[in-house]
Amino acid sequence: MQKKQLQALTLEQKCALLSGAGTFTTRAYQKAGIPAITLSDGPNGVRKQAGAADHLGLNPSVPATCFPTAATVACSWDPALGEQIGQAMGEEATAQEVAVLLGPGLNTKRSPLCGRNFEYFSEDPYLSGKMAASYVRGIQSNGISACPKHFAVNSQELRRMASDSVVDERTLRELYLTGFEIVVKEAKPKTIMSSYNLINGTYANENRHLLMDILRGEWGFDGAVVTDWGGSNDHALGVQNGSTLEMPAPGGDAVRELMQAVQSGKITEAERQNRILLRKVMKTAGFRALPSEWWHFNFITRAEAKAHYKPIP
């Protein structure tokens, strides 16, 4: 997205670009040459719904390969295998005209009771980071965007939208952020997803220390921060503190809230424009035909065997 494209938009349209139009799509302004972008789960296979999408997944999905879960693949200790899986998932996403694949998940496993442990790699942040980086490289080799998640300190499902992860700085960095730091620096993901929870009293999507000081400032992340679905609590504050895109479709209130923040000076023109320009990283890929389904079937069989039966040196 170029500055000249933005100049053709009204303030309302510019603010609207920072929130979704549907459950898994962004807004389009065809006259300005800005297409809609489709995002889709997930961590171990594309979950694009056929027809109208809904957040609960009630409508059927377009057929796609169910790859081994992150928990399984991590048992291989093989980043090369992870990159192959990421490449295969990216191929299927591209074939389904998905521009952003929402994964991999690399939160730290603190308890076996976490309901999403199957889609996270490990309790070891180094292993998680290395495997996630391999997935991202594979996915993005197809010209689309990977979206590592959930940033950050999101290790439980119980009250996940209201829980507060209280953690000191050393523990935060050495345990909970190490995996994300590895994936950002080694694989350069084009997007990253913020988590639902609070961190030391501030929601992750509005946490300036997390998004601006560490993610963008120290690690050099130059992509788009996407909220988890329904994970935005103060859209204007989120944009001010480093967030880019609120998902899913929040309605007109979020746009008006952002407009008021710009008009009142709460958000500067530079901050708003920087977030909009970051959407360029989610540009639509050159979509192409899907490779042989038989190849992917054989591939996941080999991947599962390697993950489960790799001998210990």
Q: Using an 8 Å Cβ cutoff, are 250 and 20 in contact?
A: yes
- Which pair of structure tokens corresponds to residue 33? 């040459």
Between CA 85 and CA 39 the distance in angstroms is 19
Q: Please identify which of the residues 124, 222, 228, 234 carries the catalytic annotation.
A: 228
Between CA 191 and CA 225 the distance in angstroms is 6
Contact partners, residue 162, CB within 8 Å, separation at least 6: 197, 198
Peptide bond into 209 cis (omega under 30): no
Residue-by-residue DSSP string for 225-258: EEE-TT--S-HHHHHHTT--BB-S---HHHHHHH
Residue with tokens 């171990």: 44
Residue with tokens 């220390």: 209
% helix, strand, coil for the chain, step of 5: 45, 10, 45
Between CA 82 and CA 136 the distance in angstroms is 9
Q: Is 228 a catalytic residue?
A: yes
Q: Using an 8 Å Cβ cutoff, are 53 and 80 in contact?
A: no
Long-range contacts (CB closer than 8 Å, 24 or more residues apart) made by 287-290: 287/94, 287/95, 287/97, 288/94, 288/95, 289/95, 290/91, 290/92, 290/95
Bridge-based pairing state of the strands 39-41 and 145-146:
unpaired
Instruction: Kindly list the catalytic residues.
Output: 228
